[in-house]
Amino acid sequence: MIKKASYFLALAVFLSVSAFKGGEKPAGYDIVIYGATSGGIAAAIQGSRMGKRILLIAPSQRIGGLTTGGLGATDIGNKVAIGGISREFYQHIKKYYENDSRWKWQDRAEYMEGKQERTGEGEDAMWTFEPSAALQVFKDMIAEENIELVSGERLNRESGVKKKGTKITRITMESGKSYQGKVFIDATYEGDLMAAAGVSYTVGRESNEMYGETLNGIYMAEYRQRSGYHQFPDGVSPYKIPGKPESGLLWGISPDSLEAKGTGDKKVQAYNFRICLTDNPGNRLPITRPEGYDPQKYELLARLLAAQPSLRKINDYFIWTHMPNGKTDINNRGGFSTDMIGMNYLWPEASYEEREQIFREHMSYTKGLLYFMKTDPRVPANLREFISSWGYPKDEYIRTDHFTPQLYVREGRRMIGEYVMTEHNCRGKEVVEDPVGLGAYNMDSHNCQRIVVNGMVKNEGNVEVGVPGPYPVSYRSITPKRSECSNLLVPVCLSSSHIAYGSIRMEPVFMVLGQSAATAASLAIDGRSSVQEVDYEKLRTTLLEDKQRLK
């Protein structure tokens, strides 16, 4: 009997171990962070500082998300709101440039051209930087900590999350590698781990009615005689032959009709790339005709240019921000720009293969847009000449043909957690008592669709409404419902309405929330509790000791 029992025990152990790749037992960690975005990196650093064994998993080969992917003109709202590891990062950026022999602090005229909230000589931090600078700073910060980083490992989203009750026990990658952890953090822009763990979420825009808001759902911004409103003026025809509906719609225009203001839908605000170019002849690769270039994709831009004869500056059609060392961070502006409106709806829940196709379509569109602006005779000569003086930087994104590998995923899934942040929080009308960070940016949504209204082309979904000041973000908004998952924190795809997320979704805030998530994870481990049961007063005290700003 003893021999028989031993045989079955040995068999059970063998089958259990063999379930993992190569028959190896999965590695165990205190905190497993999936997503090496800026928020994921901040979480890893904080977990290491709290003495925990940390695994940081990067689904791609490049770490840092948008912060190293071209978003060098940091969206802040109010710099006073940024503390902790997030502020450390921007302080390290300043030190990086103080030691950069190429960068002359005494000659800042070109760099400061057209800037708004950028660094001054007396500040402790620098908020504008090249992608390569951000990447190096993140690498240096990680190297100082006890963090295990694995790159190029994507979660098996079909069967890669194993749970016991409400606890995640391990996650498995597409490669078959498995990792065990006591607490997990989803720091991806899409919320892939959260969704695979069975946590409730939403995609798109809620109706105003759902949370008693005023800026959610369908929202049509008016056109004004300046380019910041991302709208077409009246009179621009949406049809292939102007004025003839029977000729069909131009590329990029949806046949959907305009719903009532405030109506919810599943449409996602537009994505784009934050483009890094250079005008340094020694570091410049030319903007050339991309494969599959179709000038008809930019017919609406030609019509917009013709409809706005008084708008002839580059910043009427792009937010063209100068970075150090002769580089840019280029963002969307106006009725037709770098945002590929309506072409990203599937992204949040799409397969990896589908996302790759969407990525390629966005890259083709973006490279084609630059080529159109450089070469098409319908573009005013001064704009063509300006674009011709810029090109792709030889010293950036060397592994990806000098173009960013990071699509600006402005919004993916949004968790429906213990507490939902809404417009009322952003306006200061509802103040939470368990803050783990501050939001401070405008309530900002890019356009969600391009449609026909009264025979004219119009963009819909753009919202730009200020907040009265920094406001607290609830700890409960980064925790799932306790009945769904008790050892997961979600600092990026946090629990928020669409319009509140538009204010919270800034890279410095993701770093703040990532640090707070790791602090809570460490306290949950120490206290042998669920993340929902963490003693908030202990959490608050630790955050303040670590220089987080909570009010």
Q: Alpha-carbon distance 391 to 524, whole Å?
A: 49
pLDDT tens track for 536-545:
999 999 999 9
What is the reported pLDDT for 28? Answer: 86
Question: What φ, ψ does residue 457 adopt, rounded to 5°?
Answer: -80, 135
**Bridge partners, 464 (sequence order):** 444
Confidence of residue 248 (pLDDT cuts 50, 70, 90): very high
Q: What is the pLDDT of residue 16?
A: 39
Region 404-422: mean pLDDT is: 98
Which parts of 433-497 are beta strand (E)? Answer: 435-439, 443-445, 449-453, 456-460, 463-465, 471-474, 488-489
pLDDT of residue 409: 98
Task: Please name the amino acid found at residue 141.
Answer: M
Rounded CA gap, 119 and 327, in Å? 17
Please check the confidence at residue 107 and state whether its pLDDT lies above 60: no
Residues for the chain: how many in total? 551
Kind of pairing, strands 27-34 and 54-58?
A: parallel
DSSP type of residue 25? P
Question: How much of the chain exceeds pLDDT 70, in percent?
Answer: 91
For all residues of the chain together, what is the average pLDDT?
93
20, amino acid identity: F
Question: For 146-163, what is the mean pLDDT?
Answer: 98
Tell me the two tokens of residue 74: 């940091």
CATH number of 27-204+437-441+467-545, picked from 3.40.50.150, 3.40.50.800, 3.50.50.60, 3.40.50.970: 3.50.50.60
At residue 23, does pLDDT exceed 60?
Answer: no
Torsion of Cα atoms, 103 then 108 then 110 then 116, to 10°: 120
Name the CA dihedral angle for 505, 493, 508, 522, rounded to a multiple of 10 degrees: 160
With 0-12 CB in 10 A as exposed, 13-18 as middle and 19+ as buried, what is 52? buried
User: Which among 441, 276, 290 has a CA at the least distance from the CA of 360?
Assistant: 290
Amino acid at 26: P
Whether the per-residue pLDDT at 45 is higher than 90: the answer is: yes
Report residue 130 as tokens.
């090249």
- What CA dihedral angle connects 130, 131, 132 and 134, to 10 degrees? 90
* 456-489: pLDDT as tens digits: 999 999 999 999 999 999 999 999 999 999 999 9
- How far apart are the C-alpha atoms of 355 and 256, rounded to whole Å? 24
Do 386 and 459 form a contact (C-beta atoms < 8 A)?
A: no
C-alpha–C-alpha distance, residues 410 and 85, integer Å: 22
pLDDT per residue as tens digits for the range 119-146: 443 479 999 999 999 999 999 999 999 9
Q: Is the pLDDT of residue 104 over 80?
A: no
Q: Give all strands (DSSP E) within 295-372, no chain letters.
A: 318-323, 327-332
Is pLDDT above 60 for 224? yes
pLDDT at 121: 35
Assign 227 a pLDDT band (cuts: 50, 70, 90). Answer: low
Cβ atoms of residues 39 and 511 within 8 Å: yes
Cα separation, 486 vs 488, whole angstroms: 6
Is the pLDDT score of 106 beyond 70? Answer: no
Tokens of 266: 């599943």
Neighbouring C-alpha atoms within 13 Å toward the C-beta of 135: 16
> pTM for the complete prediction?
0.93
Q: At residue 2, does pLDDT exceed 80?
A: no
Residue 534 β-bridge partners: none
Question: How many whole angstroms separate alpha carbon 470 and alpha carbon 457?
Answer: 36
Residue 403 CA to its chain's centroid (Å): 17
Residues 202-212 pLDDT 10s: 999 999 999 99
Residues 6+ apart with CB under 8 A from 109: none
Q: In the predicted model, is pLDDT for residue 4 greater than 70?
A: no
Give me the residue spans of the domains in the chain: 27-204+437-441+467-545
- Region 185-192: what's the mean pLDDT? 98
Give the integer Cα–Cα distance in Å for 426 and 496: 11
Residue 17 CB partners (closer than 8 Å, separation 6+):
23, 24, 25
Q: What is the pLDDT of residues 426-447, one digit of tens each?
A: 999 999 999 999 999 999 999 9
Cα(183)–Cα(167) distance, integer angstroms? 9
Between CA 396 and CA 69 the distance in angstroms is 10
What's the rounded mean pLDDT across residues 493-518? Answer: 98
Query: CA separation (Å) from 459 to 264, 407, 498, 540?
Result: 16, 21, 18, 43
Helix (H, G, I), strand (E, B) or coil at 331: strand
Torsion sign (Cα): 333, 334, 337, 343: positive
Rounded to 10 deg, the angle between the 38-49 and 131-143 helix axes is: 20
Of the pLDDT bands very low, low, confident and very high (cuts 50, 70, 90), residue 24 is low
295's tokens = 């000038």
C-alpha pair distances (Å), 445 with each of 400, 497, 537 = 29, 12, 34
Q: How far apart are CA 459 and CA 452, in angstroms?
A: 9
CB atoms < 10 A from the CB of 176, how many?
13
pLDDT tens digit string along 285-341?
999 999 999 999 999 999 999 999 999 999 999 999 999 999 999 999 999 999 999
* 448, 314 Cβ separation under 8 angstroms: no
Token couple for 242:
């102007």
Distance in angstroms (rounded) separating the CA atoms of residues 360 and 371: 16
DSSP state of 440: -
Task: Give pLDDT, residue 123.
Answer: 79
pLDDT at res. 122? 43
Distance CA 54, CA 33 (A): 8
pLDDT given at position 111? 52
Q: What is the CA radius of gyration of the chain?
A: 24
